């Protein structure tokens, strides 16, 4: 199914969970405003337009969530309450479905959109009690080792690895008690509806669908109105446990049940703690971004850039020790040292440095946009925690190209801008050890579920988490065993 490449969508969709194309779309000025509105698309096809859209999305997705309507902002909450310090109430993106609620073991259908989130099965198997206190009105947030489901009805806790690192993790500095960084993956209702209605949560259904119709996530246009009017959004968030209440007002905080790996195997018993948001990827498909727009944000206290090392602008960092001593530091204070699974200890802090400073060029002046947007936020709430978060960069397709049926990986990257040679688009927390590439360097290779698949899954690795019904899996395994018998 091909989609039109629209370049004139200059409007905003008020309701993030709207299910028809008839939703009202009043005009948007093209710059970040303190309102829970998400633009239907960029107001132009240039870096500045996508940068502004990225910040507006960040504001809307971090607005207080409507407790009765998952995926939508609570429009009764005033701008003066945006980022109130000390609250652990969920924001809009936290009310999206976690990937494990959509791609469930044994090819089970996704959990209904309105259903409260239960403790993930992988964590539940570690608990002595089956009854746990909910962390919010949307259920239980569980942060643990990122999971990928196999045939087991209770998937094992896998790893805490950053993508493309062969199992490497990220450990914070002593300021944060050497805690491991924990990740979370969520998707919005448009993408949820697309997966659910087409039964793409079943692994064996993905390849035929991709061949005949094309696995094309909705972009919010009228052509995809049965799924929603916003377009597919995927979220990847990084959190750190916060022991010190005095710094809670500096972070977007949440309550969560957390579990950590144990050296030699196994995991700690889950405990409920306060966690702080340290990084956020927001990827979204729009008519002007068939290769998606990839925006990434970080907490300003994460780590200094190379240009700031001689005179760090902040008194401390979560992932950089200003007083690191090579004589006592496990990694000898080496910058961005990637730990090796099975060799290095989990509690050895990594000295993180941003290799590409926040852009301040005329063509991509993100530093100035951050300053201007902070002023807008500050005018509404002078103590908002979101004054401590910055846009790092935005990747967008300069040659916007629809994906047709039967498309194979690697897909075309749409001449993504900025190019790697100009400015690698990387997050120091989510891509600590690969800051010299960009998101599409990897995501063009995303395929449908199943071994040795080459059919593309529209730049999303989430589809690889799908499984098959238990009976079907056993049948396939039995057939394979018969083939191998002499």
Q: Is 4 domain-assigned?
A: no
Q: Do residues 37 and 436 make contact, with C-beta atoms less than 8 angstroms apart?
A: no
**Nearest Cα to Cα of residue 203 among 410, 408, 451, 482:** 451
Q: Is 217 domain-assigned?
A: yes
Pairwise CA distance, residues 231 & 225, whole Å: 9
Give the structural domain span for 211. Answer: 12-484
Q: Is 5 domain-assigned?
A: no
Strands 389-397 and 416-417: antiparallel
DSSP for 192-235, written as a single string? HHHHHHTTTTBHHHHHHHHHHT------SSGGGTTT-SS--EEE
Q: Per the structure, how many domains does the chain have?
A: 1
Pairwise CA distance, residues 72 & 347, whole Å: 38
Q: Is 150 domain-assigned?
A: yes
Q: Is 317 domain-assigned?
A: yes
Q: Do residues 60 and 16 make contact, with C-beta atoms less than 8 angstroms apart?
A: yes
Its pTM stands at 0.90
Low-confidence stretches of the chain (pLDDT < 50) are: 1-24, 26, 146-159, 476-486
Q: Is 338 domain-assigned?
A: yes
pLDDT in tens, 340-389: 988 999 999 999 999 999 999 999 999 999 999 999 999 999 999 999 99
Q: Do residues 276 and 253 make contact, with C-beta atoms less than 8 angstroms apart?
A: yes
C-alpha distances in angstroms, 239 versus 70, 315, 365? 21, 21, 27
Pairwise CA distance, residues 268 & 126, whole Å: 8
pLDDT in tens, 41-69: 999 999 999 999 999 999 999 999 999 99
Q: Do residues 93 and 172 make contact, with C-beta atoms less than 8 angstroms apart?
A: no
Pairwise CA distance, residues 124 & 212, whole Å: 39
pLDDT at 160: 54
Q: Do residues 144 and 182 make contact, with C-beta atoms less than 8 angstroms apart?
A: yes
pLDDT at 25: 56
pLDDT at 157: 35
Q: Is 1 domain-assigned?
A: no
pLDDT at 69: 96
Q: Is 6 domain-assigned?
A: no
pLDDT at 4: 35
Q: Do residues 79 and 384 make contact, with C-beta atoms less than 8 angstroms apart?
A: no
pLDDT at 167: 78
DSSP for 395-414, written as a single string? EEESS-----TT-BSSPP--
CA dihedral (378, 384, 387, 391) positive or negative: negative
């Amino acid at each position: 199914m091909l989609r039109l490449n629209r370049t004139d969508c200059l409007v905003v969709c008020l309701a993030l969970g709207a299910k028809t194309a008839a939703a009202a779309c009043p005009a948007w000025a093209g710059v970040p405003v303190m309102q829970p509105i998400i633009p239907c698309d960029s107001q132009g096809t240039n870096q500045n337009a996508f940068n502004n859209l990225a910040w507006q999305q960040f504001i809307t997705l971090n607005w207080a969530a409507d407790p009765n309507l998952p995926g939508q902002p609570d429009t009764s909450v005033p701008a003066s309450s945006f980022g109130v310090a000390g609250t652990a109430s969920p924001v809009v993106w936290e009310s999206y479905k976690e990937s494990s609620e959509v791609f469930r073991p044994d090819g089970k259908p996704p959990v209904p959109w309105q259903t409260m989130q239960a403790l993930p099965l992988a964590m539940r198997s570690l608990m002595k009690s089956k009854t746990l206190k909910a962390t919010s009105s949307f259920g239980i947030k569980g942060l643990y080792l990122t999971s990928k489901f196999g045939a087991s009805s209770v998937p094992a806790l896998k790893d805490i690895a950053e993508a493309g690192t062969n199992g490497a993790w990220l450990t914070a500095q002593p300021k944060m008690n050497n805690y491991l960084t924990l990740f979370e993956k969520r998707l919005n209702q448009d993408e949820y509806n697309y997966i659910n209605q087409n039964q793409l949560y079943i692994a064996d259904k993905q390849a035929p669908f991709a061949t005949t119709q094309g696995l094309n996530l909705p972009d919010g246009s009228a052509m995809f109105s049965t799924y929603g009017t916003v377009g597919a959004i995927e979220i990847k968030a990084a959190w750190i446990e916060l022991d010190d209440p005095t710094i809670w007002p500096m972070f977007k905080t949440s309550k969560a049940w957390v579990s950590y790996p144990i050296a030699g195997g196994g995991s700690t018993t889950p405990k409920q703690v306060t966690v702080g948001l340290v990084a956020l990827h927001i990827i979204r498909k729009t008519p002007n971004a068939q290769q998606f727009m990839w925006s990434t944000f970080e907490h300003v206290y994460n780590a200094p850039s190379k240009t700031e090392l001689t005179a760090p602008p902040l008194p401390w960092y979560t992932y950089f020790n200003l007083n690191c001593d090579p004589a006592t530091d496990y990694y000898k204070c080496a910058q961005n040292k990637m730990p090796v699974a099975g060799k290095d200890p989990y509690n050895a802090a990594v000295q993180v440095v941003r290799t590409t400073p926040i852009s301040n060029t005329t063509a991509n002046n993100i530093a100035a946009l951050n300053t201007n947007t902070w002023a807008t936020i500050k005018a509404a709430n002078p103590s908002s925690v979101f004054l401590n978060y910055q846009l790092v960069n935005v990747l967008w397709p300069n040659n916007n190209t629809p994906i047709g049926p039967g498309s194979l990986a690697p897909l075309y990257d749409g001449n993504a801008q900025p190019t790697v040679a100009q400015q690698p688009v990387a997050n120091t927390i989510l891509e600590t050890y690969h800051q010299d590439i960009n998101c599409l360097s990897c995501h063009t290779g995303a395929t449908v579920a199943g071994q040795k698949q080459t059919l593309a899954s529209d730049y999303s690795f989430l589809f690889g988490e799908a499984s098959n019904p238990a009976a079907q899996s056993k049948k396939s395994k039995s057939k394979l065993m018969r083939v191998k018998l002499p």
